[in-house]
Amino acid sequence: MKLPVWKKLLVSAVFSLSLTSVAVSAECVAPANPGGGWDFTCRQIGKILFDIGQVDAPVQVSNMAGAGGGLAFAHVVNERNDDPDLIIAASSATTTRLAQNAYGGATASQVRFVGAIGGDPGVIVVAKDSPFKTLSDLVDAMKADPSSVAFAGGSAVGGFDHLKPLQVLLTAGFTDITKVKYIGVDGGADAVTQTVGGFTQAMTGDMSEIVGFIKSGEVRVLAVLTEDRVPGFEDIPTAREQGFDVVAVNWRGLYVPGGISDEAFNAWAAKLQAVAESAEWKQVMVDNGLAPFTKIGSEFQSWVDDVVAQTQDLSRQIGVIQ
């Protein structure tokens, strides 16, 4: 029996809607323009989620730049708070900005942090001819005379690079961290150049920023701020093994809307765990210089809460926030 034209149109519309709903099973928001770290996180994790069968269709990536991640955060909180199919790229910059009230009153408790599955390790670096042979040498010199060491870093005052050496010093019992000299420059490469050139005594930044300088022999890495030594750089000791219990990595991970159910949150945690364990992600880490750093689900949420509290405390001590 021939269908009337209007019924054919209706069937066609329903079929089209069905295809649309199947075409995109999830969306990942990258809170920055294409090409940056958050965009990398969305595109790599999204691709692998589909490749290993954790989602039924390719993950759609949406770039939402603005306010250092604040625009995307506000969008999620105010407009998509209960969307179970939404994931958002995050990093250490996300928690630092939330801790320092850079998102206009927004707080970390308004979303749920799913996990981190890789990180760019924090480092403390000196020039190859520096008198400081170990992290303890550097810390002891600063405890004796805080003005004797100036750090260069690629973040602004109060940013993640600035906070790294402060955490180390606090674990060593040095509390007057306002006396620590920090010079924020335009990126990690400039920070290393300042140190190699003798304009500062040390550099604080990320491993990816100094690999070339390590290979050329221009720097000495006093410590890597990870739980374990970094694959490929096993000769560099961690701060922990030198007696300074500090882990500071620029982690790559995700958060989800705060209003989703525990079931939906746990489902995303399981999917992210599968990505972390995949051969595909391990290759991405090798190709992009990321170190192992896997914290998933409630463990990661608790870790984030602690990091935010610590960052707020440090930021108050140096006058970044009141």
Domain boundaries, the chain: 5-119+249-317, 120-242
CA separation for the pair 89, 15 (Å, rounded): 32
C-alpha closest to that of 303 among 253, 242, 241 = 253
pLDDT given at position 306: 95
- How many CA atoms within 13 Å lie on the side-chain side of 307? 26
pLDDT tens by residue, 19-59: 343 445 799 999 999 988 899 999 999 999 999 999 999 99
Give residue 245's Cα distance to chain centre.
Answer: 19
Average pLDDT over residues 123-146: 97
Q: Does domain 120-242 have CATH number 3.40.50.300?
A: no
- Higher-confidence position of 134 and 287: 134
pLDDT tens by residue, 205-236: 999 889 889 999 999 999 999 999 988 899 99
Percent of the residues in the chain that have a pLDDT greater than 70, as a whole number: 93
pLDDT given at position 4: 53
Q: What is the mean pLDDT of the chain?
A: 91
| Long-range pairs, 210-218, Cβ under 8 A, ≥24 | 210/123, 210/125, 211/289, 213/125, 217/128, 218/127, 218/128, 218/192
120-242 shares the fold of 5-119+249-317: yes
**If pLDDT is split at 50, 70 and 90, which confidence band does 187 have?**
confident
Percent of the residues in the chain that have a pLDDT greater than 90, as a whole number: 81
Residue with tokens 């219990």: 245
pTM metric for this prediction: 0.82
pLDDT of residue 3 exceeding 70: no
CA separation for the pair 43, 37 (Å, rounded): 10
- Which CATH architecture fits 5-119+249-317? 3-Layer(aba) Sandwich (3.40)
- H or E stretch covering 21: helix 5-23
CA separation for the pair 89, 69 (Å, rounded): 9
